[in-house]
Amino acid sequence: MSQKSNIKLAFFLNFGFTLLEIVGGLLTNSVALISDAIHDLGDSLSLGMSWYLEHLSKKKPTKRFTYGYGRFSVLGGLFTSVVLVIGIIFIVMEAIPRIISPEPVNAPVVLLFAVFGVAVNGFAAWKTARGTSINERVISLHLLEDVLGWVVLLVVAGVMSIWPLPILDPILSIMYSLFILFHVFKNLKEIGVVFLEGFDRQVNLDELKQSLAVSPRVLDVHHIHYWTLDGMTNYLTMHVVLSDLTTADEHTEILHEMRHVLEDCHFHHVTIETEFVDCEQQNCEPMIAENPPHAHHHHH
């Protein structure tokens, strides 16, 4: 089954079960069940957005979006995260009064929903885990978090079926909401880095420069700028100073070797601007300078 089909299946399973959860939460008076329904609604929005963006991402770059549509997926992640935060605030506001004044919960029905929750989310996680794309692996991890939440709810519902402790329901809903909130803020941090043209993965510039010293003709590498389009597609631009003694064949070979080095560092969209210096006049050393003598202003 294709990536698009796996995400489509996960979306319909998740969305259908979300509707059942909302009805079940209202019927059983379980704020924990409703809190998970809100979370699953956010997941459904995320899956639906991923499904739509999988189709949209196949569009070619346009005059308006010359980099393509990859960053639209990041926008979808931001939208889903905001929906989850609003939902969590609503759930916590509902749960706090129930800690003060616990209300009875239909534990056997909650237990039944928990069994279905483990089964549905477990199956969706298994289907997306079989995929090879990064998108599917991330979705699979998210669905596995859902399975964990349902296992916890299953245990608590089992306890409440034996001992009437309705206060466990709002306590569980707050704990689970805080757990989800932690992951939402972690995702928001990554989204913020992408939108601010940052790069979340640590890059050792000194080691990178040394790796780019592929020839004695390479005198300096500077103005290195890198960023990610969507957390997966990485871009890099830089200036390379070559000796004036560099032949055309050497120039081509040097750029080819540099691109190979950068591909190993997970940069697949690279722009290299070359500059030439007469080594005999400049008394250059065949190495990459720590402090480049040239101060160019480069705009992207």
Q: Cα(124)–Cα(51) distance, rounded to whole angstroms? A: 14
Tens digits of pLDDT across the chain (300 residues): 555 666 777 778 878 888 887 888 888 777 777 777 877 787 787 778 777 876 777 778 888 888 887 787 777 778 777 877 887 787 788 788 878 887 777 778 878 888 888 888 788 777 766 655 555 666 666 677 677 777 777 887 888 788 877 787 788 778 878 887 887 888 788 888 888 888 767 777 888 888 888 888 888 888 888 888 877 788 888 999 888 888 889 889 999 999 988 888 888 888 888 888 754 444 444 444 444 444 344 444
Q: Which CATH class is domain 3-195?
A: mainly alpha
Instruction: Give the per-residue pLDDT at 286.
Output: 44
Instruction: Give the per-residue pLDDT at 217.
Output: 86
Q: List 101's β-bridge partners, or say none.
A: none
CB atoms within 10 A of CB 189: 10
Instruction: Give the per-residue pLDDT at 105.
Output: 72
Contact yes or no for 272/240 (Cβ under 8 A)? yes
CATH 3.40.50.300 fits 205-282, yes or no: no
Contact yes or no for 117/17 (Cβ under 8 A)? yes
Q: Could you give the C-alpha distances from 204 to 30, 147, 207, 224, in angstroms and in order?
A: 51, 38, 5, 12
3-class SS at 169?
A: helix
Instruction: Give the per-residue pLDDT at 259.
Output: 92
Residue carrying the six token digits 């992951």: 183
Would you state the torsion angle of the CA atoms of residues 104, 108, 109, 114, taken in this order, to the nearest 10 degrees? Answer: 110
Sign of CA dihedral 169, 170, 173, 178: negative
Q: H or E segment at 137?
A: helix 134-162
Contact yes or no for 46/3 (Cβ under 8 A)? no
Q: Cα(69)–Cα(89) distance, rounded to whole angstroms? A: 32
Where do the domains of the chain lie? 3-195, 205-282
Sheet holding 218-228, edge to edge: 218-228, 234-243, 269-277
**pTM for the structure as a whole:** 0.67
Q: Cα(267)–Cα(82) distance, rounded to whole angstroms? A: 30
Contact yes or no for 214/254 (Cβ under 8 A)? yes
